[in-house]
Amino acid sequence: MWTYNKVLQYPVKIKCPNPKLAKFIISQYGGPDGELSASLRYLSQRFGMPDQNAKAILNDIGTEELAHLEMVGSIVHQLTDGVCPEEIKKAGLGDYYTDHGVDVYPVSAAGNPWTAAYIAAKGDPIANLQEDLAAEQKARATYEKLINLCKDDPDVLDPLRFLRQREVVHFQRFGEALRGVQDKLAEKKFYMANCSQKMCDEN
């Protein structure tokens, strides 16, 4: 089961609200390669993994992604909190504001609501881990695009850099887990058999 710690994994303290940036960054909250997708993808796939290492890594990274979801939510909140509707509208968030105000709602940068179609659980550990490796690279690429768009605000840049770095580490860990799963699946199968009297006599 889960417990909550009242501390962000990495601090988010943005001094200047900027709804334009929020419009982009919200994609890592509820977009296809966002943290919600990541967490649910790994936590759903962990049940079917064939070895302890793969189960553990999916469990533990899936949990860390929830901490990232909170960080991204905090960034979006701090970028939009207290901003007047006129500014929200100018930032291209008029449609979002209509339905959600400045609540943090899981949508992509283009405004598509989060869908389970963003994640996969294929019933095949190799396919699932390959999916996870790709997902981490896509998330890294997304963060790099966000970093390009947020160059002007170091308060935003700093947590984004941290989150990007975590994607790189997770990619590494999933690669190691995949190698372990492949080795396990490629192992020769040994079957237990009763030792016959003859075999015992031979020794």
Partner 1 sequence: MLENENRNCNCGCNSNYMMNNNSNMMVENNDYPNTNTMSASIGRENENGNCCGKPECAPKIPMYSFEFTNIEPEDTCPEKEMTREEMLNQIRSLDFAIVELAEYLDTHEEDAKALCLHKEYATKLKELKEKYQKVYGPLSIYFPCNKWRWLEEPWPWERGNY
Residues that bind partner 1 (CB under 8 A): 1, 3, 46-47, 52-53, 55-56, 59-60
Element (H, E) at 143: helix 125-149
Owner of token pair 């997304």: 142
**Shortest Å, Cβ 47 to partner 1:** 6
**Shortest Å, Cβ 117 to partner 1:** 24
- For 158, the token pair is 């700093």
- In the complex with partner 1, which residue's Cβ is closer, 128 or 142? 128
Is 50 within 8 Å of 123 (Cβ atoms)?
A: no
- In the complex with partner 1, which residue's Cβ is closer, 43 or 75? 43
**Shortest Å, Cβ 55 to partner 1:** 6
**Shortest Å, Cβ 136 to partner 1:** 20
CA distances 11 to 33, 53, 76, Å, are 22, 30, 14
**Shortest Å, Cβ 123 to partner 1:** 16
- In the complex with partner 1, which residue's Cβ is closer, 70 or 87? 70
CA distances 183 to 67, 117, 166, 187, Å, are 31, 30, 26, 6
- In the complex with partner 1, which residue's Cβ is closer, 52 or 203? 52
Is 76 within 8 Å of 70 (Cβ atoms)?
A: no
- In the complex with partner 1, which residue's Cβ is closer, 53 or 137? 53
